[in-house]
Each structure stands twice: as structure tokens, then as C-alpha cells.
A and B are shown apart, each in its own frame.
Chain A
Amino acid sequence: MKYILLAFCLLCSSLLIAQEKYSLRGTIKDVNNGETLLGATVFLKGTSNGAVTNEYGFFSLTAAKGNYTIIISYIGFESITQDIQLDSDQTLNFELKESATSLNEVVIVAEESEQVSIKKPQMSVSKLNAGTIKQMPAVLGEVDVIKSLQMLPGVTNNGEGSSGFNVRGGAVDQNLVLLDEAIIYNTSHFFGFFSVFNADAIKDIKLYKGDIPAKFGGRVSSVLDVRQKDGNNKNFNINGGIGLISSRLAVEGPIVKDKGSFLIAGRTSYAHLFMKASEDLKDDKISFYDLNLKANYEINKNNKVYLSGYFGRDVFNLSKIIENTYGNATANLRWNHIFNDKLFSNLSLIYSKYDYQIILDFIELDWIADIKNYNLKYDFKYYLSDKVKLEFGASGISYKLNPGEVRPTSQSSPINYLKLDQKRAFEGGLYVSAEHQITNKLTAQYGLRYSTFSRLGGQSISNYLNDQPVVYNSQLDIYERGEEISQTAYSKSESIQNFDNFEPRLGLSYQLNEASSVKASVTKSTQYLHLLSNTSSVTPLDVWTPSGKYIKPQRSTQYAIGYYKNFKDKAYALEVETYYKTIDNRIDYIDGSDLIGNNTIETEILNGEARAYGLEVLLRKNKGKFTGWLAYTLSKSEQRTLGGQAGGPGINDGNWYNTPYDRTHDISLTGMYKLNNKWSFSSNIVFQTGRPVTYPNGQYNYEGFSVATFSNRNEDRLPAYHRLDISATYTPNNKPDKRWKGEWVFGIYNLYNRKNAASITFTQNDQTGLNEATRLSIFGLIPSVSYNFKF
């Protein structure tokens, strides 16, 4: 409540200083293809008055009546300087031209590198654009958004071949991943080897590691906001690439010139084509594909509609043994409406689905699980004055979860039909936030999100003896399932449990001088959906579950402070941030928990807490032939799970233990060097503390086997992870008048062939009877070549 009062007072104070003011609004686009530019800056020279374009390229700013010089700039584009006379409210659209020298240059843009953003209170955000990502060396040459993000401070994952990513010591399921506003539930292809984002279809990627704006909610660690390209509204364009793993093709063009455009991008792997040719493998199939779609149409200057969609699928068939498919599907219909010079709005109707199917022929079992949601949201941006911008809106998400359905695949199958309870839930959100320039040096961003969550009926919920779904067996010192005493049936019109939370967000920026600033933020957020995974790596099979009677919403509070500095005429930028984060109600699984096909997950979990803290340093070089960045993270991420209602000391005797994604040190260096117009080179160096694991601390002989005993949870570590990748891009002499433009990308991943342990398994050799430790290393030295084209 005090936050609301504070916000109100601040607002009033700024409204009192009224003079004769006019507003200027417009859209900023790329002159070549009509693609709207988000994050471009509009600046009135000689004042501190400026604006940054939003996700739809729209800006609005207000200034006192007068004559100004307006500067429009966007990294990699030539700036526009124009004199304007501001004596009425007006609309001015700008089209920027790509700077001739900038192809393959200066492509990483962190917002803070811009003049205005040193002031902007938004912190803990990392931005990558598709150009940078395409240049970074990648496994098998397969451009990967999520792996590129891991080169930034505070972002890691559980190693090669594991799905998702971890932000600031948070779990994979604590990231809200949005593709054109639609939730992506699984970000990986091939069980984690590649990511679902096709770089050809993507315009912009923003990762909020903290200080999450009030318009986002539902996850406690981060928001990854990925925006698809709109499509070229001036000319037809085709670009594509041929790589070792997949090929890509994107077609874009105008629907009506300068009014509307479309983009269709596809990507498919083709290992299965080679497999078909092989006698041994002709019945097998390993493949994935993606389809990205986008269309937009400008009805008039105040109304624009967008339709975007994504459909991706993984197929894995091993003849007569396993058939496995999974994938995400999303669709989003949006309507941008500009009410007046100051009020911009967007209404979205969004659908997302993730489904997973596995057919095990040898036991004649067919397993299906899915999660889907509809989301209606209405967002407003109100450019109240030159000092205050307001954002507010509402959203409602309706979830339907089918955690699992088991079917026999034949008449003779021994499998009984089983359907786990369908789960339904509704998540509501209301938010308001302000970006407020309090003095010339001090800017604040404060907001409040109010979230609600209703777990809806249509299923039965088990009740347990003494209300204990998990019981501590003090004699054996183990946790066991509680005794179910009855079930309560809830009809579809009833709700099983309701939650609501206030989530204040506050960020401050104080500008020390033209080139440096300090920022601080506090963010509270709540997460109502949880991914059930008791393995150290997330797999596509893991199911999502909503909060309810036994699983409480996760709630986090994150504090962060940072220092930002541009130096040497903005050629270099330094960002230093430190954070401390706590998460309540983080569930963990009792020893030996069994989650598959389990209707009563509450009997396998205990409620705990997590905390993470760290220091992140990012030093970037933005200009010149050599660009790149050095990222260092020092951090700790741990959790504790007490017995609570179940009694007993809890998991790991109630002591804090490392989360599987705790990494003490994480260093990455990414460099790009442009030798001349034909050749450019890039390289990654990564060093990371090994993943926490539990090693055996003894053995005993049981039934003829050597059985391992284990030490405390996650007390040991795999050996450190490090590698070096290089790549070179060769652009043949492309004549400017020739439509066809091509480039070759050669790469070597893991140049010195480091055998990084993805895991170490401890087993007894069945020939010698001796215990041994076996290291699984996934990617050794991998050369690659791919060809990209555009015409």
C-alpha cells in the first residue's frame, strides 16, 4: 500500500508543474524493409528530453513549446537530425538507413550504452540481436539464441544436452519465455541440444534477469522476451541457410506496400533423410522443425493488426521401440490502437500449447501429456508528460493441464488405460507502473502488479491423515507417502484454492555524470505454475503443475544495485551488478521420489526455500574492428527444505544445499574481429565451476552387487567446464547490384577438444566387478560449415 501512496505523491508533484506543452509521436522504421525498430532513441538536442521506441516502434514525447533539433538514432543505423517547430501536437514518422559500414559490426547493444539509457532506471536487462547471435560460434554451426545468452553474465545452463537455461541461480521453470508474447513451455529441440528460436525470424531478444517490469508476471527468476520480425513491407525477400544440422528458409514481403507485410520462416533438420538412405536406419527418424509466421497490416495511422504464430516439433522414432514427439504451438492476434498522441494501446489474444507423446512399443504403452493456455491481455502506455510515462494493463490466462494419459497400444497390451486428473486454473494480473524523471539526475520506475490465481475444480483432491501428504518415518529416517483418507470432489464451477499477491517493483537510477550512473531495484514476483522435475537436468517429459491445495505459489524478492559507465567515447561500456534473491515455497522432492504417472504429486514433495546472490561484471567493446565482451559472474545458489508439516529434519537433514545450477565462477569472453569486407572472425571462451552433484562415499555388498552409499545432496562437483570455440565468416565479393548475397560460416566448437563431463556415473563393471567412474562428455571438437544467403 505504501508503494501506491508513494507513486501517487510522485505523480501529483510532477503534474503540478504545468506549462504550455505539446507532444510529438511517431513510428521509427528501417528504410530498407519497413521493419519497426524497437529501442531506437528520439532525443531533443540540448535538453534531457528523449524517448525510446516501444515493442511496436512507437514513441511519444512531450516538450514545452519551442524550436528543437531532434536526433533519431539506433545502433547500426545512420542518425537523422532534423529541426522541428513544436507548436502543436504532431506525428512524425522516421525511417532510418543502415550505416554502410555497420554490416557485421557493432551488433551487441545493451540498452545502457545509449545516451538516454544511462538514465533509464531499467537495470538487469540483457539484449542481443539476431545479427550478433548469428556471428557467434555455435555447435555444428546451428545458431542458438539460448546458448548465446549464456555468454552473458548471470546466465548458465546445466551443460550440453540439457533443456532450458538458468538465470541468477534460478531454476529452468522460473523463466518466463515469451515468443511474440506467447508462453513457450519448452525452449529446446533434440532434448536440449538446440533451441526453438530460429534466428532468421527473430528481431530482438531481451532478457530481464531482475528488475522485471510490472507488465510481466508469473515467473520468479527472469523474463526472456523474444520478438519476431514483422516482415519486409517494401520488397520481397528470401533468406536462408544450409547447415550441417538444419536448413532454414525465410520469405518476407509486403501484403500491401508500406501498409502490411508477412514473414514465413521455416527450419528443419535433415539427419532423417540420410537415415532413410541407410539400410540399418531406414525405419528410424530423428528430426525437428519450426515454422514461424507473422503478418501485420496497418489499417490507418491509429490502428494496426498483427498475427503471429509458431509451430515446432521434435520427432524421434526408433523402429518398433520408441516413438516420441513433442513441441510448442503458439498463436497471437494483436491490435495496436493509438487513442491519441499520448495514449498507445495493444490488445492481444494469445494461445500456447506444449504437448509430449511417447509410444513405447515394446511394452505397448502410449503416453500423452500437454499444457495449453489462452491469454487475453490489454496493455496501455500513457505518455503523461515529459517527465512521466505510465504503463498499465490487465491480463487473464486460462490454463488447462493434462499431466498424463496412458493408453495401451494394442488389444494384447497388458497396460490399463489411465488418465491422470486434468487440472484447470486461471491467472489474472493487473498492473500499473510509471517511469518518472524526478530530477535531471534521478529517474525512478515504480509499479505494482496485482496477481490472482484460482485453481479450478473439475477434479478430486485427496485428503490425508493429519493433513500430511508426506509423513516422516522417524524410525527409518525417511519420508513416505501420507495415508489418503478421503477425496473431495470439486465441480467445474468451484475453485479449489485461490491466491492473490501484490508484487511491487521499484527501480531508481541516479546519473553521476554524462557517462555513468548507479541504479538500484527491488522486485517482488510470484509464480503459480511449477515444472515437476526431480532430475538434475530438465527433460521434455517433465510436466507442469499449477499451485493448489498442497503446492503453494513461489514468491521471490530480488534486490539489485549496479554501476554503469561508458568510456572512451562510448567505445567501451562497463556494467557491474550485484543481487540478492530469496524464493519462498520452492518445492523439492523427497529421496527416491517417483513423479511419472503420479496423480498425487503432493506425496513426493516438501516445501522449501531458495536463495541466490552474486556479482556480475560485463565489460563491452562496442566500436571498432574488434568488438565483444567479457562477462564474469561470482555467485551462489542454494536451497533448504525443512520437514515442515511432514515432521522430521527435512531434505539433507534440513541443511542448506547447492542447487544443481549453482556455479561459483562463470567467465565468458566473446570476441568478434572484422578483418576486411570479406573475412570476419569470432571466438568464445567459457570457463565455469563444475555442476554440483552427489558422489558416492562408500559401498556395500548386497545381493552380489556393490551398492553405493551417497554423501549429502549436491555436496560434490563435476570437474570445471571450459572450452574455446572459433568461427570465421567469409563474404564473397557481393556486387551491390546483385540481388543474391551469400556468406560462408566456418566454425570449430571446442577447439582444444576438452572432454567436459556432462555427467559422471558410478557403476560396477560387469566384467571385472570393480567400481568405476564413467565420464560422459557430449561435444568434443566439432567442425562445422554453413552457407547463408539472401535475395
Chain B
Amino acid sequence: MKTHIKLIILLVALAFTACEDVIDVDVPTGQTRLVIEGSLDWEKGTTGNNQTIKLSTSTPYFQTATIPIVTGASVKVTNIDTNQEFIFIDQNDGTYTISNFVPIIGNTYNLEVIHNNETYTATETLTAVSEINSVTQSLEGGFDDELLEVNVYFDDPADEDNFYLFSFYEQGDLFSTIEDLSDEFVNGNEIHNFFEKDDDDDNDQAPFQAGDIVDIQLYGISEGYYNYVRILIEQYYGGGDPFSSTAAEVRGNCINETNSDNYAYGYFRVTEVVKTSYTFE
């Protein structure tokens, strides 16, 4: 909602000879921290046995060198409901993997990472997601009636608060586009979301045309993760514009049990995800 308001205001601004340019800015450099990318995503229709957790560290904002990976840590996930332990194996490339993970909807999992003699923990519950009812394409919907968009429909369960994360990725692009959604205004209804690319002179992004393939992912996420990823998305797509809320560090759910000031970035999420692809006609 707020994103849309921002869109209007920026459009008005642009109508008044506003201009955007990339400039050099001196930014401060904060503390280097461990980054835990603990995304355990169970794709519907699979066993969910294969999972990966990534560890790295933060860098100065404008540093362009490759992200430093973290090896030699110990990574363990425990299902608190069943007491089953899952030990992740260090692949020495910053990833820690497992091939016998057992996802159970509604069960709570605990992550433990030990790195540099400090123990980080996080807790999360596996959140379910609805099936996608249909995926269509249209011209009339979306922001621009002359551009193609892909539509996704799915049912939101009534009587509960649900939170979603979408990822749309056009094959061949460098980045996917992610969006967060809560059922606050649409509880219990069939939810419709769309993804439309506009042709933007600045980055010669091509709008969709026949033959383009879009990978679509729909995650069921917890309220805690929604609060995290919502702020992260807002900051990622427009951090610092005057109509976004004051930028602030987004704190994830990973706690440093040894030294609480040396907390980690990132999040330990456990989700169910539906994945599909759509080819434009």
C-alpha cells in the first residue's frame, strides 16, 4: 500500500523536471558481523530432505570484492517437537548442507551455529502455504494496459493471520523480484498478485513478451519473518527516499548466546514453498 503511495508521489515529482543520478557518497562503516542465511524451504511435492544453510560476513557498503564466506563453523538444527537433530556438513565454500532433513508442518525448529567459539541460536516454526490455483497472463490488468503481466491466484485460509513471500524471476535476469504480503485486508479470500515489468530507459529492462519464462515461488512465512523481510524489502527497493520510514538496521532472529552485542545478520526461516513456472504466449 505504502509502496503505491510512494509511487504516486515520485511520479508527481518526476513530472516536475525531477532528475535522478548516481553519485558518490561517503558512508560510514559499521562492525563486521556473521551473516546466517538459514533458509529451510520445503518445496511442496518433494521430500525436503536436501537443505542448505549459508554463512558469510558483512562488508562495507560499497565494497565490490566477493562476499567473504565463513567455513569451519558447526551448524545444527533440532526439531523441538520430536527432538530429532540434523547436523549440517561444512562444504568449505560457505555452505552447510544436509540430505536427510525431515520437514513437518507446524513443528518448531531450533538452529545452533557455533563460530569462533560463539554460539548463535534461532527458533522458527515451519509455516504452510496454499496451493497456487492458477497462473495466467493478461494485458489489461497490472499498472500498464499495454504491457503483459503474469497473474497468480491462491486461496488464503480464513480464521488465521497468514503471511507470504513471493519471488518472481525471469529466466536470464540477474535478480529476482521479491514481494511480501499479509492477508490483513484480504483474509479468507482468493488472493491475486501480479508481476509486470515496465520498460525503463535507465536500465533497458525489456517488458514481457511471448516466450519469456518466469519462475514463481510462493512461500508461507511466519509473522516474525514477515516483519523482517517486509522492512528488508522496503529498504532494498527504496531505502532512503523521503517517503519510506526512517531506515534502521533490520534485526533478524539469530541471537548470539555468548556475546549478545555481537549478534548476527540474516534469518533462520522454515517455510513451505510452491514453485511454478510460466511461459508467456
Contacts and interface: CB of A to CB of B under 8 A. Distances in A.
B5 interface: yes
B11 A761 contact: no
A553 interface: no
Given A760-B23, A776-B13, A416 B247 contact: no
Contacts of B236: 705, 707-708, 763-764
Interface stretch (B29-37, B85-93, B101-109): B29-37
A567 to B, nearest CB: 42
A703 B39 contact: yes
B185 A694 contact: no
Interface string A760-791: 11111111011111111111101000000000
Contacts of A775: 20-23
Given A193-B16, A589-B245, A767 B58 contact: no
Contact of A698 (B22, B29, B142): B29
Interface in B115-153: 141-143, 145
B67 A362 contact: no
A450 B110 CA distance: 58
B245 A535 contact: yes
A320 B176 CA distance: 27
Given A695-B27, A773-B22, A362 B143 contact: yes
Contact of B8 (A324, A476, A696): A324
A38 interface: no
Given A416-B185, A589-B245, A761-B238, A541 B5 contact: yes
A708 B235 contact: yes
Interface stretch (A157-165, A256-264, A681-689): A157-165
Chain A, interface residues (CB within 8 Å), range: 35 or more
Given A707-B232, A760-B25, A772-B22, A478 B37 contact: no
Contacts of B58: 698-700, 709
Given A476-B251, A592-B227, A710-B249, A699 B61 contact: yes
Nearest to B31: A698
B259 interface: no
Contacts of A24: none
B46 interface: no
- Give the dominant DSSP class at B's interface: loop
A775 to B, nearest CB: 5
B52 to A, nearest CB: 12
Nearest to A314: B12
Contacts of B231: 591-592
B5 A358 contact: yes
A460 interface: no
Contacts, number: 263
Interface residues of B, number: 92
B184 A700 contact: no
B211 interface: no
A82 interface: no
A711 B250 contact: no
Contacts of A780: 17, 19
A700 B9 contact: no
A109 B59 CA distance: 57
Nearest to A320: B145
Contacts of A704: 175-176
B242 A698 contact: no
Given A710-B249, A758-B13, A767-B174, A415 B185 contact: yes
A714 B29 contact: no
Contacts of A360: 1, 4
B15 interface: yes
B244 interface: yes
A701 B9 contact: no
A759 interface: yes
A30 B13 CA distance: 42
A593 interface: yes
A709 B15 CA distance: 32
Contact of A535 (B32, B192, B243, B266): B243
Interface string A475-490: 1111000000000000
7 contacts: A190-B12, A406-B185, A694-B248, A711-B30, A770-B64, A776-B241, A780-B17
Given A416-B185, A778-B16, 6 more contacts: A660-B246, A698-B31, A700-B59, A702-B37, A709-B249, A775-B23
5 A-B pairs with the lowest CB-CB distances in the bound complex, closest first? A697-B30, A537-B242, A591-B248, A592-B231, A700-B58
